[in-house]
Chains A and B, each alone.
Chain A
Amino acid sequence: MKNINSNGVYFLKEAITVFRLNLLSNILSLFSIALIFFMFAMMFSGWRVSNHVAEALQTEAEINVYYNKSIGTEGALQLAGQIEGIYGVKEARLVNESEAYNRMEKILGEESKVLKVFDENPFSSYLEVKIDLEQTDLVLKGLKILPGIEHVRNNRDVLDRVRSIAGTIRIFGTMVLLAVAICTMVIVSHMIRQGIEQNKEQINTLRLLGAPEMFIGSPFLLEGLLLTLGGAAISGLAAALTIRQINFQMASTLPFMPLPSAGVLTHQMLLAIGFLGIVLGIAGSFLGLASARKS
């Protein structure tokens, strides 16, 4: 331990020397690691965006309740209050005929002129009920026993699909991230092992002089960690710029998409890359050192 502490500067200098002596190969390794981390960063960001969108869609999950017009607006508002009392309902509000018309106009955009065909507003008022997606069945059961309800449009298929997409994204994203992390670790360990192989003679000399294995291995561990962190830093920078660009493009072409802010996404991505860089750098270096020692 005493040697490790007092030789800290030496280990760092040695790591730099080892890097310098195999410059081309190490630069290629650095960029390979950066590329892997860049792919990881993109995967991570895609996963975060999909999660965010899926969560937003789930939050926005709603059903439409059409009531008997004989109860009038007063009755409809009372019904909305009763609906809000059902477990799983977040909010229930009345959408009158003109709001329904305006919404459709907005959705149709340039095609909204088709609505002019009608002499009167073809839309009827209804209750818009925001619900917890997981409690859909319970809400529908609760609605059935309320008086004054004529019809419920529950968008069941769409809601189920949203839930299934959210689950798939979560599982698939986690698996892909795990696969990229394992690949990174294997590649880093392989690079460290190669570095050790290239410096076999130096290692042999140190052994003959009586150097402890930890003393011999430390510069290589440090080199692995620096390579990984360097790769993570390069990829972090490139990914931050890319995310900003993609986010801008998506926000301007798909304005209705509930995207997370580029700043938050970049911050999360940089944290993930930094953490992964340290963990995989250490793990990969130890793995490489152990396998080189074995061989």
Chain B
Amino acid sequence: MKAKAVIEAAGVSLRYPDGTLALNNIDLQIQQGELAFVTGPSGSGKTSLLKLLLGMEYPTSGYVEVLGQDMNLTQASAIRKLRRRIGPVFQEFKLLKGRTVLENVILGQRFLDVPQTQMKENSLDALKKVGLEHKALSLVENLSWGEHQRVAIARAVARKPLLILADEPTGNLDKENALKILDLLASFKDNKTSVLITTHATHLMKSEYTNMIIKIDQGALEWERIG
């Protein structure tokens, strides 16, 4: 049976109000259960692509569909519903200060139709997977950079998303920790969940779990499937 496409883009361009062309006529298709890396130099358009997929930007032209949702001229409420099926891992983590690790992870599920007890269970399970179960009750401001990263990942995966979008999760990490983070994100890929990771660290990508490599340069995109 042919897998469903979770991301589909055809002839998409994104131009910012200041005239910068971030994405230039790109085509892309990522299937359910695939793991794709988006690589390219700084300012090449990687984050813009993620913003487009998360509904933070609208395409200037072309057609984009994410998890079956047409992203062109989509209403805010539909974008919000779509985001609830996505597990985003932001470059700057976006964890809430003054709250514990567990509260941050649970927060991502509070407005999903998940029962209270299930939320806690999902969160502790996700924290266990990222190796931070013992820090559940620590305040996020007391964590190290790498731990912040892992809490952000736990918050994304505890939501049991259909698509994980991770923006530069290896930025500012040494090789060993970067590898751990990539391995961790790859471990969430399964039949249902697809993973899209933007990274500079092309040398750390492992062929055993990579299905697709997407290269972006100056807004132009080319991709290749592996295996």
Contacts and interface: CB of A to CB of B under 8 A. Distances in A.
Is chain B's interface secondary structure helix, strand, loop, or mixed overall? loop
Nearest to A7: B110
A209 B116 contact: no
A78 interface: no
Interface string A199-217: 0011011111111100100
A3 B110 contact: yes
B111 A210 contact: yes
B94 A208 contact: yes
Contacts of A20: 98
A172 interface: no
A208 B98 contact: no
Interface residues of B, number: 23
B96 A209 contact: no
A17 interface: yes
Contacts of A212: 80, 111
B98 A215 contact: no
Given A6-B116, A17-B98, A205-B94, A210 B80 contact: yes
A202 B96 contact: yes
B66 to A, nearest CB: 13
Interface in B100-115: 107-108, 110-111, 113
Contacts of B97: 21
Contacts of B81: 210
Nearest to A202: B96
B153 to A, nearest CB: 14
Contacts of B107: 206, 209
Nearest to A204: B94
A208 B96 contact: no
Contact of A211 (B80, B98, B99, B116): B80
Nearest to A18: B98
Interface in B65-97: 80-86, 88, 90, 94, 96-97
Contacts of A205: 90, 94, 96
Interface in A247-263: none
Contact of A21 (B54, B98, B113): B98
Given A17-B98, A17-B99, A208 B56 contact: yes
Given A17-B98, A21-B97, A208 B111 contact: no
Is chain A's interface secondary structure helix, strand, loop, or mixed overall? helix
A3 B107 CA distance: 12
Contacts of B54: 208
Contact of B84 (A2, A204, A210): A210
A6 B80 CA distance: 20
A215 B110 contact: yes
A123 interface: no
Interface in A193-246: 201-202, 204-212, 215
Interface string A5-29: 0110010000001001100000000
A160 to B, nearest CB: 64
B91 to A, nearest CB: 12
Interface in B157-200: 159
A212 B113 CA distance: 13
A76 B98 CA distance: 86
A26 B121 CA distance: 35
A24 to B, nearest CB: 15
A211 B111 contact: yes
A206 B111 CA distance: 10
B100 to A, nearest CB: 11
Contacts of B111: 3, 7, 209-212, 215
A204 B88 CA distance: 13
A209 B83 contact: yes
Nearest to B116: A6
19 contacts: A2-B113, A21-B97, A21-B98, A201-B94, A202-B96, A206-B107, A208-B54, A208-B83, A208-B94, A209-B88, A209-B108, A209-B111, A209-B159, A210-B82, A210-B83, A210-B86, A212-B111, A215-B110, A215-B111
Given A201-B94, A215-B111, 18 more contacts: A3-B110, A3-B111, A7-B110, A20-B98, A202-B96, A204-B94, A205-B94, A206-B107, A208-B54, A208-B56, A208-B88, A208-B90, A209-B83, A209-B84, A209-B88, A210-B111, A211-B111, A212-B111
